[in-house]
Amino acid sequence: MARAAETNVLLITIDTLRADRLSCYSTKFVQTPRIDALAARGVLFERAFAHDPTTLPSHTNILLGQTSLVHGVNENGLSIIPKESMTLAKLLKSKGYATGAFVSAFPLDSRFGLNLGFDLYDDHYPAKPAPGFDYAERKAERTIEAALAWISLQKGKWFCWVHLWDPHFPYAPPEPYAGRFPQDPYSGEVAYIDASLGKLLETGEKKGWSSQTFIVLTGDHGESLGEHGELTHSYFAYNSTIWIPLIMAGPGTQASRVKDYVCHVDIFPTVCDVLGIGKPPVLQGESLAPFLKGKTKKPVPIYFEALQANMDNGWAPLRGIIENGKKYIDLPIPEFYDLERDFDEQTNLAEKVDLSPFKKKLEAVEKAPAATSRSQGTRAIDRETRDRLKSLGYIVSPIVQKKKTYGREDDLKTLRPLRQKLEQASQWDRVGRSADAARLFEEVIQTRKDFSAAYDLLFQSYRKQGRIEEGLQVLEKGFNANPDNYGFVTKYGLALVKEGRFKRGAEILEKALGLFTQDAEVWNSLGLAYWKQGDLERALKYFKQALALDPNDAIYNDNLGSLYVVMAMKAKNQDNLQQAIGYFKTSINRDPSLASAYNGLAGAYSVSGKTAEAIVQWEKAVNLDPKYDFAVYNLAFAYLDKGDKKRALEYGQKYLALKGSDISAQERQEVEALIERCKKQESSSGL
């Protein structure tokens, strides 16, 4: 057995994973033999809980050993982890560990701060999401390959975090899992994850590092799959979304199943005890090390929350506590469940139980010294205070709660029919019932003007139908009703820029900056808006600010490179061209599948007079995206300049076929002239 000082640590987090979809928890749905084998030689916790039903907050809880009451990260997309935070990676790095992280989707992008303490933070998923997907992601097998490559290079002890995204909606398992689970694609995703993890775990056995590695496998949160009237997650905090698998295996563990109630913040202190290193005093959790040796420990209350609806729409915040098998949910219409008898939470006992002890316990948790210091620290009273907190990364969300108190009308259960109506409208829209969908969206908006998602989804529906003006009018209506809702204001501004309404888009996005300044996407889109209006200097300033916030983003580097090419052509400045080439290469290194970056790099080479180098890059762009008309057009004229009229003819004809009727008369005339010239050359060569 490896000594504690020599033990590696492998943390595996699987996004959106219900515990009951692993056959070591339940055999009802799908067989997961690889994870089962890990559980069989380790400790399986039957009652483990997340504190949040969303990705970034849950992973922050795990890696900081604190709940959002302390670290302040309680939503995806806007929260930024304070740079001074003590993360598990930071601690282990200070103890001589090599540290590597391999994440699979945008919600854990390095821009949000979980890269703290990692020597390598590999978030190299594609820059753009695949069609039909909300987030850019990479498949489990690709992430695992990257992790294994890194592990194989390590000469000493290491800490590796592997995050897999696949069970997240939309569920699209690859074959053969899609065919095996045609009516239950979610379980198909879980089966695929299990098979992919097999390579990771089996390689550990073959290479010999498994026996000296402490392995922790967990889910960040679950998935409702229709239970309690919720299709996915983030709205409620029933066990369908906060009960998660937790398995620990490795040196010093005795195989067992534990029925005690444990939680995510317990993982950090457990790792410390297993490795024999001191626990930072900021940790909130309790070490589970006694369970690993077949012992027990005193239970402690488990705090949980679901605040997405509150921050998005100003609805009642959901917070609660689990203690001694009892679960209290603090809402205007409170809920209380006896989990020992009713783990599926079918019978609300709130009216039959004295809730005051549980309310006091929850208040005590919320008012604990660590939580109090955080909540006071993030309460922005004036602009100077807000700016200082933003510079420290403490801003959680710029959305201010609209009410001091909430009534039954703000309870998430009261508003659930509106959410369900929204989901029904979305389903109708996907199957072509756009008129029925629009009617339901409008009904939602009329009922709750603060339900920002309804405006956005109605806009998306109109956009698919080509009714752009009507869609933008919907967003304008939503903006007027929710001018302080940062998320919605941002979506409106981004939509305007995407649709070519650059002046109004810039106006709206500047208002977004007045609410929150740490969103790189807003700065990037403002850069585009000002560029399209001819203000190159301001565009340069805004693009640079986007990169200051997220220096590795492929698209931001691509955009700045393209701007420098334009500036170089205007001023005939070779320094600008060299800067452009540097940004394009960074973009390509970050995402080798981004065709526009190759096109931009080719353009920079072309302006520099390096036609041969330009052709190589344009060919790469077309190989990645055969319908990329800009690269096809450029290749036609580049080959003509080179004297290769056969290839020029090929690309000229391809360009006209790609563009069809969507081409200006002047451009068509230019390309047809090129084609005619090439044909004449071919004809004369054949005589």
Q: Is the model's pLDDT at 105 over the cut of 60?
A: yes
**Cis ω on the peptide bond leading into residue 176 (within 30° of 0)?**
yes
Q: Mean pLDDT across the stretch 270-276?
A: 96
**Cα separation of 614 and 159, whole Å?**
42
Residue 23's pLDDT is 97
Of residues 291 and 427, the one with the higher pLDDT is 291
Q: Is the model's pLDDT at 389 over the cut of 80?
A: no
Are β-strands 213-219 and 243-249 bridged in parallel, bridged antiparallel, or unpaired? antiparallel
For the chain, give every domain's residue range. 4-298, 411-475, 626-687
Range 598-615 burial, b when 16+ CB lie within 10 A, else e:
bbbbbbbbbbbeeeebbb
Choice among 196-200, 305-309, 310-314, 499-503 with the minimum mean pLDDT: 310-314
Is 53 within 8 Å of 319 (Cβ atoms)?
A: no
Closest CA to 499 of 535, 460, 441: 460
Of residues 685 and 430, the one with the higher pLDDT is 430
51-75: pLDDT as tens digits: 999 999 999 999 999 999 999 888 8
Residue 487's pLDDT is 83
User: Residue 352 corresponds to which tokens in the numbers above?
Assistant: 């039959």
Q: Mean pLDDT across the stretch 248-255?
A: 93
Of residues 505 and 399, the one with the higher pLDDT is 505
**Cα separation of 344 and 336, whole Å?**
12
Is 30 within 8 Å of 187 (Cβ atoms)?
A: yes
Bridge partner residues of 555 (DSSP): none
User: Which residue is listed with tokens 């369970």?
Assistant: 291
pLDDT band at 308 (very low <50, low <70, confident <90, very high): confident
The fourth-level CATH superfamily of domain 4-298 is Alkaline Phosphatase, subunit A (3.40.720.10)
Residue 399's pLDDT is 45
Choice among 40-54, 182-196, 382-396, 623-637 with the minimum mean pLDDT: 382-396
pLDDT band at 6 (very low <50, low <70, confident <90, very high): confident
Cβ-based burial of 32 (10 A; exposed 0-12, middle 13-18, buried ≥19): buried
Residue 5's pLDDT is 66
Cβ-based burial of 297 (10 A; exposed 0-12, middle 13-18, buried ≥19): middle
Of residues 396 and 498, the one with the higher pLDDT is 498
Dihedral angle sign, alpha carbons of residues 251, 254, 255, 257: negative
Give the fold, CATH level 3, of 411-475. 1.25.40
Average pLDDT of the residues of the chain: 90
Bridge partner residues of 218 (DSSP): 13, 246
Q: At CB < 8 A and 24+ separation, what contacts does 149-157 make?
A: 150/100, 150/102, 150/120, 150/122, 151/100, 151/209, 152/207, 154/98, 156/96, 156/97, 156/98, 157/5, 157/6, 157/7, 157/8, 157/96, 157/97, 157/98
**Number of helices (H) and strands (E), helices first, in the chain?**
29, 12
461-475: pLDDT as tens digits: 999 899 999 999 999
Interacting residues of 68 by C-beta distance below 8 A, sequence separation 6+:
51, 52, 57, 60, 61, 74, 305, 396
**Cα separation of 191 and 23, whole Å?**
10
Q: Is the model's pLDDT at 379 over the cut of 60?
A: no
DSSP string, 90-109: HHHHHTT-EEEEE--BGGG-
Bridge partner residues of 121 (DSSP): 101
Choice among 139-143, 397-401, 482-486, 526-530 with the minimum mean pLDDT: 397-401
pLDDT band at 135 (very low <50, low <70, confident <90, very high): low
Q: Mean pLDDT across the stretch 294-311?
A: 91
Residue 316's pLDDT is 94
**Cα separation of 479 and 457, whole Å?**
14
Closest CA to 650 of 602, 682, 621: 682
pLDDT band at 4 (very low <50, low <70, confident <90, very high): low
Q: Per mean pLDDT, which of 275-289, 387-401, 443-457 is the most reliable?
A: 275-289
Are β-strands 43-49 and 256-263 bridged in parallel, bridged antiparallel, or unpaired? parallel
User: Residue 231 corresponds to which tokens in the numbers above?
Assistant: 């299709």
Residue 687's pLDDT is 37
Choice among 233-237, 400-404, 581-585 with the minimum mean pLDDT: 400-404
8-14: strand order across its sheet: 120-122, 98-102, 158-164, 8-14, 213-219, 243-249, 43-49, 256-263
Q: Is the model's pLDDT at 372 over the cut of 80?
A: no
How far CA 254 is from CA of 219, 251, 293, in Å, comes to 22, 9, 6
Residue 362's pLDDT is 95
Q: Which helix (H) or strand (E) holds 256?
A: strand 256-263
Residue 682's pLDDT is 61
Maximum Cα–Cα distance across the chain: 100
Q: Is the model's pLDDT at 36 over the cut of 90?
A: yes
Of residues 125 and 218, the one with the higher pLDDT is 218
First to last CA, the chain: 82
pLDDT band at 381 (very low <50, low <70, confident <90, very high): very low
Alpha helices in 123-181 (DSSP H): 140-153, 177-180
Closest CA to 190 of 367, 19, 333, 344: 19
Residue 38's pLDDT is 97
393-434: pLDDT as tens digits: 323 344 444 578 899 999 999 999 998 898 899 889 988 899
Interacting residues of 183 by C-beta distance below 8 A, sequence separation 6+:
none
Residue 370's pLDDT is 62
**Cis ω on the peptide bond leading into residue 182 (within 30° of 0)?**
no
Share of the chain above pLDDT 90, in %: 75
**Cα separation of 581 and 191, whole Å?**
43
139-191: pLDDT as tens digits: 999 999 999 999 999 999 999 999 999 999 889 999 999 999 999 999 999 99
**Cα separation of 457 and 659, whole Å?**
30
pLDDT band at 37 (very low <50, low <70, confident <90, very high): very high
